[in-house]
Structure 1
Amino acid sequence: MTWIKPSFLWMMYRSGWGTKPGQETVLAVEITRDGFEWALRHACLSHYVPGLHPDRGAWQRRLKRSPARVQWDPERDLHLRPLPHRSLQLGLSGEAVRRYADEWTVSLRDVTPLAREIRALVAGGAPEAAARLLPEERPYPVEGGLPAHLRP
């Protein structure tokens, strides 16, 4: 499974600011909107939700068939503490991974130096300076709204 994590600070939490073993390089991957929305349309929540899914078995069958899965995790602040709202994490497998690699990827950019610079500013007691360096992030508008089967 390959995961798309659209939140910079959530990725910093997950990778320990790019210091965890095997996660020392942080890449910003730009993909097409069509590709991201294809993945959302073909996704299943990564966990069972009573009332949303008919039953646990139905959810498990859908999850096994789905080339993408959605997980909602607490967004993070500059100190990587959880915030009261959640960020989408999008897991890709099978056909979605092939499409991601062959069709959707527009650009790759190494943002490891940026992650290290922001981390150093936070650790040095300069959160305002660190915040100014954060990549711009905005809510992602989905035409017609997020499908009901993916809502947290």
Structure 2
Amino acid sequence: MNPEVIPLHQIRAMYDAHTVRLYQAFSDEIADSALASGRFVSPPFKLERMTWVKPSFLWMMYRAGWGLKDDGQRRILAIDITREGLDWALSHSCPSHPDEGMSREDWTKLKDASPVRIQWDPERDLFLQPMEHRAIQIGLSKEAVQRYVNEWICRISEVTPLAREIHALVQQGRVVEAKSKLPVEQPLQ
């Protein structure tokens, strides 16, 4: 049997017919207020800042160091948003870096007109090592942040205990068991 060949750029996520799961890491203050109210509350959440969401659990673990990297990323939240919200974000996005050959002026115009940035970074394995294919990161700013916070979020849950459990299993060399606990992420269709 051949292992699955994953395209270089493919959005893989945990999703159903109505929602898509994204991940973010936050401080205790932001996580506690979001979990208590079922949405991000400003303050402490900053609506005026770009906020980056990731559908890849392992990329989030890499970014936040399993929630152990620093106090600002100690709590890992799973945010289920509407499929329509994600579709809107992707259709109002531009790459986080200019395409080859694009002039600085054209890049600035595109960036200013787009409330969403897309960045593709190497996906990570259980040991947080880079893989061949890429995981998408989605940066939400301006109108996109407002829509995210006020319209798209269906549910916020904490996955910090799951992250710590998987991390402990990896450290103990129990890789098969750790892998069995990962969220099932499929190509988004």
Query: TM exceeds 0.5?
Result: yes
SS in 1 for 2:73: coil
Residue 34 (1) aligns with residue 84 (2): yes
Identity of aligned residues (%): 56
Match of 1:147 in 2: none
- Picking from 169, 172, 187, the partner of 1:124 is 172
Matches within 5 A, 1:103-142: 103-141=151-189
Q: Which amino acid aligns with 1:69?
A: R
**Aligned-pair RMSD on alpha carbons?**
0.9
Q: CA deviation at 1:60?
A: 2.0
Deviation at 1:56, TM superposition (A): 3.0
Map of 1:92 onto structure 2: 140
TM superposition shift of 1:57: 1.9
Per the alignment, residue 48 of structure 1 pairs with 98
How many Å separate the matches in 2 of 1:69 and 1:32?
18
Q: Which residue of 1 aligns with 2:75?
A: 25
Gaps of 5+ in 2: 1-49
TM-score by length of 1: 0.89
Which residue pairs with 2:57 in the alignment? Answer: 8
Deviation at 1:73, TM superposition (A): 0.4
1:140 deviates by 1.1
**What is the number of equivalent residue pairs in this alignment?**
139
Q: Equivalences for 1:50-65 in 2 at 5 Å? A: 50=100, 53=102, 55-65=103-113
Partner of 2:19: none
Per the TM alignment, residue 59 of structure 1 is displaced from its structure 2 partner at its CA by 1.6
Aligned to 1:150: none
Distance of 1:57 and 1:123 partners within structure 2: 48
Q: Deviations over 1:15-63 (max 9, x none)?
A: 0000121100000000000000100000010001125x4x232122111
Q: Given the two structures, how large is their TM-score scaled by the length of structure 2?
A: 0.72
Corresponding residue number in structure 1 for 2:25: none
Structure-1 separation of matches of 2:75 and 2:177:
22
Deviations 1:74-97 (Å, cap 9, x if unpaired)? 000000000000011000001100
Q: Secondary structure at the match of 2:134?
A: strand
Q: What one-letter code is carried by the residue in structure 2 that aligns with 1:34?
A: E
For residues 140 and 74 of structure 2, what CA distance do their matches in structure 1 show? 21
1:104-134 deviation line (CA, Å, top 9, x unaligned): 0010010000000000000000110000000
